Amino acid sequence: MLQDLSQYILDIAENSLKARASSVEIEVNEDTRENVLRLRVSDNGVGLDSEQLSMVENPFFTTRTERRVGLGIPFLRQAADTCDGSFGIRSAKGRGTVIEASFRRDCIDCPPLGDIPATIMTLMVGWPERSFLFRFRFNDDIFETGTEELLQILEDRELLASAEVALWISRYMEQGIYNLRTGGNEGFEEDYQP
């Protein structure tokens, strides 16, 4: 199994990118009232046909050519099942894929969130030509950011690959998630000056 939710996000999002997705949406929903943690990753990649979709949870099936096993999805399914959650995948050839998983938050085996800001930053910086939308829900509150929002500030897609911007993206998301989870309203300098 992978160590935390951020590692599952990275694995699934990289699958999307390798499936030629130009747009990837990632949503984490932490609901303390319902005692559930949900993950949803959707893309507009090449999608899977019905035969591939029926085999995707088999660890010895992968569409990748660089290795013979694909453990991310089977591990995610196992983690969700272990935590009284659910797992689902929908895909259509030429239309993309949606993967959803949920976990009972108070389950001892529920994966911790991990460093989600660093994971999303890694995706944005590593694939600056692709579009990402990240949404974190905590009960009724939402923090959302994405490539398009950042490009309105930066005005140059190539700046996404700079170390200074990468650090800013990570800190911005970290602060946004922290504020939601703690009920805080600490400010963050949103105006980036490249």
pLDDT in tens, the chain (194 residues): 789 999 999 999 999 999 999 999 999 999 999 999 999 999 999 998 888 888 777 666 665 555 544 568 889 999 999 999 999 999 999 999 999 999 999 999 999 999 999 999 999 999 999 999 999 999 999 999 999 999 998 889 889 889 999 999 999 999 999 999 998 766 555 544 43
- Identify the domain containing residue 60 by its residue range: 1-24+42-113
Using an 8 Å Cβ cutoff, are 163 and 121 in contact?
Answer: no
**Structural domain includes residue 156:** yes
pTM, full prediction? 0.89
Same domain, 91 and 153: no
**Structural domain includes residue 34:** no
Same domain, 51 and 101: yes
Number of domains in the chain: 2
**Structural domain includes residue 36:** no
**Structural domain includes residue 65:** yes
Same domain, 85 and 119: no
Q: Which of 46, 80, 87, 41 is nearest to 63 (CA)?
A: 46
The residue from 83, 113, 143 where one domain ends is 113
Backbone angles phi, psi at 13, to 5 degrees: -65, -40
